[in-house]
Amino acid sequence: MNDSSLYKSPAAEQAVMDLYDGALARWPVAYQTQYVPTRHGDTFVIASGVFDAPPLLLLHGAGSNSAIWLGDVAEYASRYRVYAVDLLGEAGKSAPNRPPWESAAYAEWLEDVLDGLDVEQAVLVGISQGGWTILKFAVAQPQRAAQLVLMCPGGVTADRSSFVWRALALSLLGKWGIRRLVRLLYGQQAVPAGVEDIFTVVMSGFKSRIGVLPLFSDAELARLTMPTLLLGGSQDALRDVHAIAARLQGLLPRLTVRILPGAGHVMLDTVAPALAFLAQTTSTERSA
């Protein structure tokens, strides 16, 4: 489905884009932007880091864009050529296309993105729906995923229906409801300054996609033999990270699990454990 009106009004779209451009103006390292053509629509990419460093892709979650990596990108870019990629049909600069989740479209899309960037194999890092997208691609083309970092990914276990209904109700209660929802998403972590205002602008003007991410089969997940890190929050109101870990541990031979105490579905301070995992598993690969 190609929906050219992902926002409730042109003014709402402009408000979200102004936030995005403001984040790019504060990007902490040198960067270039480009649109990569794909079978499913043009895709906006922010590239940072040394050109000949190993490639690493960052994929955000639903209802957001690559601006969420503002606080993390400098550390990733100190070791990698980093490509922050806007998902299709979300609140970023990529095409408004929303292909069926059940189809092969998202695997095809990420294949085209990598091809357009002239990247044969990359480290793939994704949050929530971005994690689901990484899984979709990695089970289709495991040889192109060097390592995976999955942060509270969808598609492994069913989401908590109680959260879905509560989030829907809170989103209808204006700024007060959005503040309560943000607090729920962050668990016991302190909510950073300005986050509630950003959530208010996006949730007030962006039309979130309705639906449930399909679950992967055991046979699909068993194809993931590359080193994989699962990062989850102990207070995630949307997904049970312990259940996700239990399922993946039975299927992925090279899985590492890190559960962050007090963290919610939105997690802070994920870069250090992600980089430590990547450094350790890269070193192990080279010595094998």
3-state secondary structure of 93: coil
For residue 5, pLDDT over 90 is answered with: no
User: pLDDT-based confidence at 74, cuts 50/70/90?
Assistant: very high
Q: pLDDT value at position 283?
A: 61
Residues 6+ away with beta carbon under 8 Å from 117: 36, 45, 47, 55, 83
Pair 48, 24: CB distance under 8 Å: no
Q: pLDDT value at position 287?
A: 52
User: pLDDT-based confidence at 284, cuts 50/70/90?
Assistant: low
The Cα 110–Cα 126 span in angstroms is: 12
Q: pLDDT value at position 2?
A: 47
Flag whether 2 is in a domain: no
Flag whether 3 is in a domain: no
- Please provide the average confidence, as pLDDT, over all residues in the chain: 92
Q: pLDDT value at position 185?
A: 87
Taking only the tens place, the pLDDT of each residue in 159-178 is: 987 777 677 777 766 776 78
Q: pLDDT value at position 181?
A: 83
Flag whether 1 is in a domain: no
Flag whether 55 is in a domain: yes
The Cα 4–Cα 194 span in angstroms is: 29
Taking only the tens place, the pLDDT of each residue in 191-231 is: 888 888 888 899 889 998 888 899 999 999 999 999 999 99
In sign, the C-alpha dihedral spanning 214, 217, 218, 221 is negative
CATH code of the domain containing 36: 3.40.50.1820
Taking only the tens place, the pLDDT of each residue in 132-163 is: 999 999 999 999 999 999 999 999 999 987 77
Q: Which residue range is the domain that position 205 belongs to?
A: 10-287
What is the total count of domains within the chain? 1
| Average pLDDT score over residue span 248-271 | 95
User: pLDDT-based confidence at 93, cuts 50/70/90?
Assistant: very high
3-state secondary structure of 202: helix
H helices of the chain, in order, are 10-25, 73-77, 105-116, 129-140, 161-171, 174-186, 195-205, 218-221, 241-249, 271-287
Flag whether 267 is in a domain: yes
Flag whether 5 is in a domain: no
Burial grade of 133 (CB within 10 A; 0-12, 13-18, 19 or more): buried
Flag whether 108 is in a domain: yes
| Global confidence as pTM | 0.93
Flag whether 99 is in a domain: yes
Q: pLDDT value at position 3?
A: 52
Pair 203, 122: CB distance under 8 Å: no
Q: pLDDT value at position 288?
A: 52
